[in-house]
Amino acid sequence: MKSKRTTKQNMQQKAAVFSGVALLVMTVTVIFAQGYVHSSLVIDGDAVATLKNIHASQALFRLEVLGWLIIFMTDLIVSWGFYLFLKPFHQGYALLAGGLRFLYTAILAIAVSHLVITNNLVQNSSDRVAQQAMDSITAFEAIWSFGLIIFGLHLIAVGLVAIATKKIPKVMSILVIIAGFSYSLIHFMYNFMPHIENFTGLLELILMAPMVIGELGFGIWLLVKGRKVTMD
């Protein structure tokens, strides 16, 4: 019969695998949904052109909505998986990290609901519908951006747990903290300092690499090394 310690270790290793896979799936899906579809269909400040784009590519827009639903589900997996993986290192910070990720995921769900509304609206074609659809898309972007402030705090909590244990490389821990700080800073500026939006956009481009490397790198580490972590 397995000891309680062995069972906990197995659970921690499985959590690393599930979280790592979920993070990789999420990354690919975000690149498709936001990086490709959303950015190609939505024209900032032009509701009519945006509606025409969506009308011409309705199947693609529905794939974007599906992509965000997949992102939502994988975020739930990561929320729970991170908590289970980090709990043996520091239960308090693990709960904080998992709770913040879950809160972010709830905010994301509210944001994505506006894309579902948009999908229903664009079945018709008129200037009024175009503006309503654009308002829903803008609401999605604004709510998601606000949620990313919470997301950044989640990554900082993850990094604090990681940096306090010898099981996780210090470089990886620092990268996760930098990524979290970058997310929170950028989206705080977008939400509460709109008058410097151009500067914020430039800063986001500069910090994009550490934001991606921090989270994605940790996901890869979880799959390659995290699944072998022991509690010794």
2 in any annotated domain: no
Within-domain flag for 192: yes
Q: With respect to residue 1, please indicate whether it lies within any of the assigned structural domains.
A: no
Contact call for residues 33 and 78 (beta carbons, < 8 A): no
Structural domains in the chain (count): 1
Residue 120 lies in a domain: yes
Which CA distances in Å does 154 have to 49, 99, 132, 149, 174? 37, 8, 33, 9, 14
Q: What is the pTM of this model?
A: 0.92
- Provide the domain limits for residue 34: 7-228
* Residue partners of 25: CB distance under 8 A and separation at least 6: 70, 74
- Is the residue at 171 inside a domain? yes
Kindly tell me if the per-residue pLDDT of 163 is higher than 80.
yes
pLDDT band per the 50, 70, 90 thresholds, residue 3: low
In a domain, 150, yes or no: yes
Q: What is the pLDDT of residues 91-112, one digit of tens each?
A: 898 999 999 999 999 999 999 9
Residue 202 lies in a domain: yes
